[in-house]
Amino acid sequence: MSYTSKDIKNIVAEILENKKDKGGVKSLYFVGCGGSLGALYPAKTFMEKECSNIKSALINSNEFVHSTPKDFGENSIICLSCHKGNTPETIAAAKLGKEKGAAVIILTWLEESEIVEFGDYIIQYSFDASPDHLKGDIDYAGEKTMCALLVAVETLQQTAGYENYDKLPELQKQIYKLIVKRFLAIFYPPAEYNKVQVTVDVEGETLPPSRYNSGSIILTMENAGKLIEDEELREQIKGAGIGTSATRGEIIKKLERIKYIDINSKTQIVTPTKKGEVIYDVVMNSMPDMLNPKLTASWEKGLDMVAKKEIKSDEFMEKLEKYINAKFDKLVVKY
């Protein structure tokens, strides 16, 4: 039997009732691989910030199976994310949860797949599987992310209480609105804009910088470190740049596909679209450092220090999480 996000409140209530005579629920683990694991991050962050009575963690499926937390068992809930239900490592983690007596919640797109036999509760989210679904500008991880977040919120509310339960943070409301708007956008015709052309005569030989083309922009991504004034940080990104040789071309293609940029078919000149300019303005006004290669360089420096054992990996992750939480707190408006 499969459920939807509307059933999560009752699912959590049923789990807590079943665990009551066994000591209750003491831990909640979010487990998955790749993008599915990333979709669970907001739920993990919520538990860390708001919940003190239940242990929680975000763990890669393979790591979870081979280095299982000591307290994982019948007093645990494991919430797994597996899009098509056929990722071997996540299936193994679900099977382990079943064997250990934990309550197993599986977030998936398909009602029938290899993983469902190991789940106590199969929560389905929607997904457009049509051949050209990638042409749209839709966040398909949105509903999956909200399902995991609801599992976290309900677990806290039904065990210790959550003071903002009836007053969702502004960010949660915006996530819901974003998902709805982006879904409705599928059915709308392409946007039309009024353009005003202004011609200005300028004396002298001053010329604007040449526009990027599809080749030069990839070279710029590769050599992004040259834009950094700090010599130490510039050295850290020297061999990395933005993206990798295998992904830079795909990044440009995706930006064109989702209408952030246009590439002239003859000249290959890259120009931002109106939509791209709006996105840039939003990020620049809210999180300007996200647009600066120095951020990538500083992370590369941290990873290099971990590799050289100059700092512990836990210390690096703590700083990274503090940074993410600081950005999260800046955007969230609580009542």
Distance CA 9, CA 151 (A): 8
Of the chain, the percentage scoring pLDDT greater than 70 comes to 80
Can you give 93-133 as a three-state secondary structure string? HHHHHHHHCCEEEEEECCCCCHHHHHCCEEEECCCCCCCCH
Structure tokens at 109: 């797109």
Q: Say yes or no to pLDDT of 90 above 90.
A: yes
Distance CA 31, CA 266 (A): 47
Per-residue model confidence (pLDDT) at position 137: 42
Question: How much is the mean pLDDT over the chain?
Answer: 82
Mean pLDDT of 135-155: 75
Structure tokens at 11: 């699912």
Q: Around Cβ 84, how many Cβ atoms within 10 Å? A: 14
24-74 residue pLDDT tens: 999 999 999 988 888 898 889 889 989 999 999 999 999 999 999 999 999
Helices (runs of H) and strands (runs of E) counted in the chain: 13, 8
pTM of the predicted model, to two decimals? 0.53
Say if CB 296 and CB 125 are below 8 A apart: no
148-172 residue pLDDT tens: 989 999 999 999 998 888 776 565 5
Query: DSSP state, 84?
Result: S
* DSSP H or E run through 174: helix 170-184
